[in-house]
A and B are shown apart, each in its own frame.
Chain A
Amino acid sequence: MFITNPLRTWLTILGMGVGTGAVVVLVGLGFGLQQIILEQIVFGETLLSLGVSSTGAQGLRLTPETVVGFEAKEPVLDAAPLVRFPALVTYKGLTGNVFVQGVEPPYLRYAGVTAEAGTVFTDDDAGDTSSIMLSPAVLKLFGIADEDVPNFIGQKVSLRLLVPANDGTDNVNEIPIDKEYTVRGITKEQGVLNVMMMLPELRNYVAITEYERIQVRVDSNENLPLVEKELIEEGYRVTALSKTVEQASKIFQGIQIVLATFGGIALIVSAIGMFNTMTVTLLERTKEIGIMRTIGASPNDVKYLFVSESIVVGFLGGVSGIVMGLAIGITVNLFLNFIAGQFGGQAVKLFSFPLDFLAFIAIFSAAVGYLTGVFPARRASKLNPLDAIRYE
């Protein structure tokens, strides 16, 4: 087949290649998008923790005892609380309303807090008394442009806490903190005005009796739903990042399916083209089949010949499709990153080609080859050798 009609054979392979290439590119894009999102939000410990807050009903409150209670549960490794007070922040004479969040370093890990600029508090910073993290919105408040965000690290701001008076009224006591904090990092939290500092430092100024939120770290994935259920039954509101991730995954699977469908249509078109080629080849080789049959080839030999040829063509089509897909994906990616680099954006991997996906495509294209070959092959094997040998 490669000898008698190389052009047609290679064109068929190219057709299959374009089809599979389309699938590879589109599905690769799906994988890539999914990965980008997951990379942003997924951290090992984040997925294994639950965010617990009180529903406000039933008088349930999150207190230091609650934390101890959570930690006492069998599958729970740790529980890290977050406390929140309204506050006023002042930077170079500008003052704005924010929330001060007091946390311990593990909380940051469990909640998956990362820094857009600067550094995040680590376990070593538990006793830190001089630095804070801000959310980007706070910078906006101070009129800092986006591109100047990294330069804000190291700036000093001062805070005044607004603590509710504990006398049953709506009065608020203003507690000024008489020192300036250094901004060590900018978080990625969007749309909220948050200032994050270490819980022990906050305790120096206010007495803390109630937490806003507790992050519960569970030992394993299997126990996650169990603990979640238990907590919900106790009356807490529980949010799990793993749920969010799952939902995001589902959405991206949907996107992937849509992309794969478009690719699949291309693949079907090329498969029909290949089927056509195999049928024409059958007609063209009818005489040859007749000769082979009369000199001792069995119908199965003939069938085997055809099927193996079409599998080879299909497989080569798949491989060339993979090569094409990878080439397109990588080129587009490079191009986009180049443009992104020009505009100061972040380099991203828009395409992703997991190895097992590529292997699947190679095998799948061979299978398509088999399917397109099996029908002409059956016809070839059923030819009457005498009629076939007289065919011109």
Chain B
Amino acid sequence: MAKPLIVARDLSIIYNKGKSNEFKALQNVNTDIYEGEYIILFGPSGCGKSTLMYSIQGSLPPGEGTLLIRGDDVYSYPPSERVYFQRYVMGIIFQSFNLIPSLSVLDNVALPMIFCNTDKTTRNRRAQSLLDRFGVGHVSHKIPAMLSGGQQQRVSVARSMVNDPKILLADEPTGNLDSVSTQQVMDKIDEINTFDRRTIIMVSHNAAHLSYAHRVYYLKDGFIVREVVNPQRKQIKPVREGETIVTELEQLARLFPYDSVETLRVKSMVNFLTQDYTFEQLSRIERAIGLFIQGRIDRDNFIKGLVLPAERGGVGVSEQEARAMATTTQKMIDRSTDIKRFRARKENDNIFFSQHKLAERMRDHLVQEFRIKLTKEQDEHLVEMIADRVTGVVTESEMNERLAKGVRAGGLALSEKEADTMTRYFEKIIAQGVDVSYKN
């Protein structure tokens, strides 16, 4: 069995020990990290994830417990050897890039090699090739301030790799980046893990990154509260049979990274009680409906995707069911366009197409859908209610109430249950149709 690269046993780090502002940043942490693993330390601010990372980096001596890296206690090294360790074993990336503003990009990357007394030609050649690899070779002569955040972070990835370290540490490397740059940087770090086979320890609180990791350690208030294995990646850490099993909880943890184990258990139970579909199926249906709503797949492909068995990437529902889903979805999307137009009219009066007409059309749809017969008076009331609801004059519950009210009181005199169903249905259409984007 392979030996772990990093072993922490009962590791505690206490800031300002013995003073009034004593703070236990890490308590009784036990971790085993294996060579080639991609580990994410996940948790809210102040949970101690960065503390753990910097302790592994060799800058923060453990207060209690042991921390062994490659079987050695780094903190027992004499200073010169610890520097050697930090140079050749550890590479580091920061959230705020931490490039030196007065040096060119090339010199920034070559800087760690300067401390190793590498000669200038080798230094520049290696730095340039790394910059090329990470897609920032063309800006090597500029100073960091002239680069975008994404470029700067890729420069600092290049810098962390310049001495070919065994372990790459990343302290929220995408915390300051936009989504496109985040993707680029995450891909590069993933590449370093899968292609260069480097061990990666990343501190993050972005749940979207968790799927990159082999394992995720969840930290809270200085404790590791959970270790989640990513079932999608082949594990490097040897799993002894029966000791740890991959359960639905792991899957749920990736869907709801901020929830505690207890909440996840509840979720699992509720899902079983209320739904016919598993979480896996649900997330696939979600994906399919998403594409369908955006119009990126047509009805036939949508049905095909739903019918396809789970092993082949589909959802595995019956064709009949799939068709029913497609029809309902289609219908609701179509109706939702009326909501859209209605609300658009609200802003610029259009003489060709009055709001009243739209409201009437929606009324007709509801009448048809629920197969109800209405008197002329009820008819008018419903149109009025629809208009009020869509313009936002009344809330969902007010509309529900009015539906159940007597005709004299301006209602429809529906039964409670009928009113509930109609409200719910109509609300779904509104949800599809209403434009929630921010307007000035």
Contacts and interface: CB of A to CB of B under 8 A. Distances in A.
Contacts of A269: none
Given A296-B115, A298-B79, A386 B60 contact: yes
A57 interface: no
Listed residue (A4, A294, A295) with the most chain B CB atoms within 10 angstroms of its CB: A295
Nearest to B91: A295
Contact of B59 (A3, A4, A299, A386): A386
Interface in B106-149: 111-112, 115-116
A301 B115 contact: yes
B87 A296 contact: yes
Given A4-B102, A386-B54, A389-B98, A295 B92 contact: yes
A115 B130 CA distance: 82
Contacts of B59: 293-294, 384-386
B404 to A, nearest CB: 61
B57 A294 contact: yes
A288 interface: yes
Contacts of A299: 79, 83
Contact of A291 (B57, B86, B98, B116): B98
A297 interface: yes
A389 B54 CA distance: 12
A298 B115 contact: yes
Interface in A267-319: 287-288, 290-299, 301
Contacts of B154: none
Contacts of A385: 59
B115 A288 contact: no
A294 B92 contact: yes
Interface residues of A, number: 19
Contact of B80 (A290, A298, A389): A298
B14 to A, nearest CB: 15
A296 B116 contact: yes
B12 interface: no
Contacts, number: 48
B380 to A, nearest CB: 66
B111 A295 contact: yes
B100 A294 contact: no
A288 B116 CA distance: 18
Given A296-B86, A298-B115, A386-B54, A288 B79 contact: no
A296 B163 contact: yes
A296 B83 CA distance: 6
Contacts of A295: 86, 92, 111-112, 115, 159-160
B101 interface: yes
B226 to A, nearest CB: 26
B83 A298 contact: yes
Listed residue (A288, A292, A296, A299) with the most chain B CB atoms within 10 angstroms of its CB: A296
A294 to B, nearest CB: 6
Contacts of B87: 296
B67 to A, nearest CB: 15
Contacts of B102: 3-4
A288 B100 contact: yes
Interface in A378-392: 384-386, 389
A288 B103 CA distance: 11
Contacts of B116: 296
Contacts of A297: 83, 115
Contacts of A296: 83, 86-87, 112, 115-116, 163
Interface string A220-249: 000000000000000000000000000000
Nearest to B143: A3
A52 B83 CA distance: 77
A384 B61 CA distance: 11
Interface in B215-263: none
A290 B79 CA distance: 16
A3 B104 CA distance: 11
Contacts of A292: 100, 111, 115
A287 B87 CA distance: 19
A357 B83 CA distance: 43
B200 to A, nearest CB: 17
Interface in B62-117: 79-80, 83, 86-87, 92, 94, 98-102, 111-112, 115-116
A210 B246 CA distance: 129
A301 B101 CA distance: 19
A291 B57 CA distance: 13
Listed residue (A293, A294, A297, A386) with the most chain B CB atoms within 10 angstroms of its CB: A294
Interface in A345-392: 384-386, 389
A288 B108 CA distance: 11
Contacts of B160: 295
B172 to A, nearest CB: 13
Nearest to B165: A296
A298 B81 CA distance: 10
Contacts of A389: 94, 98
Nearest to A1: B102
A294 B86 contact: yes
Interface string B136-176: 00000000000000000000000110010000000000000
Interface in B346-380: none
Contacts of B57: 294
A378 to B, nearest CB: 14
A137 B260 CA distance: 115
A387 B115 CA distance: 21
Nearest to B89: A296
Contacts of B115: 292, 295-298, 301
Contacts of A301: 115
B403 to A, nearest CB: 59
Nearest to A287: B98
B75 to A, nearest CB: 14
B112 to A, nearest CB: 5
A384 to B, nearest CB: 8
Contacts of A287: 98
- List 10 A-B pairs, minimum CB-CB distance, nearest first: A296-B87, A298-B83, A4-B102, A3-B102, A296-B112, A291-B98, A295-B112, A297-B115, A385-B59, A386-B59
27 contacts: A3-B102, A4-B101, A288-B100, A290-B98, A291-B99, A291-B100, A292-B111, A292-B115, A293-B59, A294-B57, A294-B92, A294-B98, A295-B86, A295-B112, A295-B160, A296-B83, A296-B86, A296-B87, A296-B163, A297-B83, A297-B115, A298-B79, A299-B79, A301-B115, A386-B54, A386-B59, A386-B60
Interface of B: 54, 57, 59-60, 79-80, 83, 86-87, 92, 94, 98-102, 111-112, 115-116, 159-160, 163
Given A291-B100, A298-B83, A389-B94, 13 more contacts: A293-B59, A294-B59, A294-B86, A294-B98, A295-B111, A295-B159, A296-B86, A296-B115, A297-B115, A299-B83, A384-B59, A386-B59, A386-B60
